[in-house]
Amino acid sequence: MKQILLFLITIISLNLNAQKIYAWWDAGAKVGYGLGGFYNANLTKDDNYSYRLNSGYGLGAKFGMYFGLNNGITFDFMYSKYKQDFDYAIPGNSENLHTIKWNNYDLALLYRHQANGAYVELGPMYSLVNSVNNSDNNDGGDDKDVSKFYNENYFSGVFGAGGYIAGSDRFTLMMGLRLGYALTDFVSEEGKTNNYPTPKQTALTAKESTTNPAFVQLVIEGNFALGYYGKASCQKRATLFSF
C-alpha cells in the first residue's frame, strides 16, 4: 500500500509540473571539416586530367527556432575555405599540379527534425564567393587572383544527419555529417570563354559542362538554449520562459 501511495504521489507531481511547449530557440557555434572541392564532368572524362581528394573547413554560428519539440528551422552562417587540386599531362613533364582555392560566406536555411537524440536537416545554402585563386607549379607556383572568372555566388542543396554527444538542460554538444552540392555554376560566362577552370586555360574537347562545388564534412556544434514559449498544465495562457 505504501508503494502504491508513493507511485500516485509521483504521478500527480509530474502532471502538475508538466508543460506544453509551443516553440523554443537556441544558438551556438559550429565547425566543419572534411572533403571539399568541385565536380566538372569534362575534367573527369578527359584522360589528361586526374583529380585529387582535397579537404575543406568551415567556422561559424547557428540560430534555431523550433515548433513543438521536434521540428524547426535553423540558420547557419559559415566562413568556409575549399580547394581543388588536379594533375594534368604535358608531354615531357610528369609532375604538373594545378590548384584552385576559394573561400565563401555560406548562408544556410535548413529544416531540422530532431528526436530521440538524433537529427536530420535539409535545405538550401547561398554562398557568397569572397575570393578565388589559381596556382600552378609550371607557372611559378604563386597564387593568382582569378575571381573575375568565377561567379560571385552560387546555390547549393544541403543534407545532414547526426546526434547528441553530451549536454545538460541549457547546453548540447552535437556531431553529424553534412553534404552539400552546388546546383548552379561556379565558373562565370567570362570564365567559360577563357577556358576556366583548366590549367593554362587549355580548351577541353567539350565545353558544355558546369563546375559544381561540393563537400562532405564532419560537423560539431555546441548549442545554448535561449528560451521557450509554452505553458504549464495549471496555466490558462502561454508564457515566454527562459531556461
Give 58-76 pLDDT, tens digit per residue.
Answer: 999 999 999 988 899 999 9
Provide the residue range defining the domain that includes 172: 23-241
Q: What is the pLDDT of residue 16?
A: 37
CATH number at residue 28: 2.40.160.20
In angstroms, the Cα distances linking 4 to 8, 14, 18 are 6, 16, 21
**Residue entry with cell 572534411:** 34
As for how many domains the chain has, the answer is: 1
Q: Report DSSP state, residue 90.
A: B
Strand boundaries in the chain, DSSP class E: 19-40, 49-51, 55-67, 71-88, 97-115, 118-136, 144-145, 153-167, 171-182, 211-232, 239-241
Upper half-sphere CA count for residue 180 (Cβ side, 13 Å) = 34
In a domain? residue 15:
no
Q: Is 90 exceeded by the pLDDT of residue 82? A: yes
In a domain? residue 79:
yes
In a domain? residue 16:
no
Identify the bridge partners of residue 228 per DSSP, sorted by sequence position: 24, 241
In a domain? residue 1:
no
Give the pLDDT band of residue 242 (cuts 50, 70, 90). Answer: low
**200 vs 202: CA distance, rounded Å:** 5
Give the pLDDT band of residue 10 (cuts 50, 70, 90). Answer: very low
In a domain? residue 58:
yes
In a domain? residue 81:
yes
In a domain? residue 172:
yes
Q: What is the pLDDT of residue 91?
A: 67
In a domain? residue 5:
no
Q: Is 90 exceeded by the pLDDT of residue 200? A: no
Backbone phi and psi for residue 238, each to the nearest 5 degrees, phi listed first: -75, 150
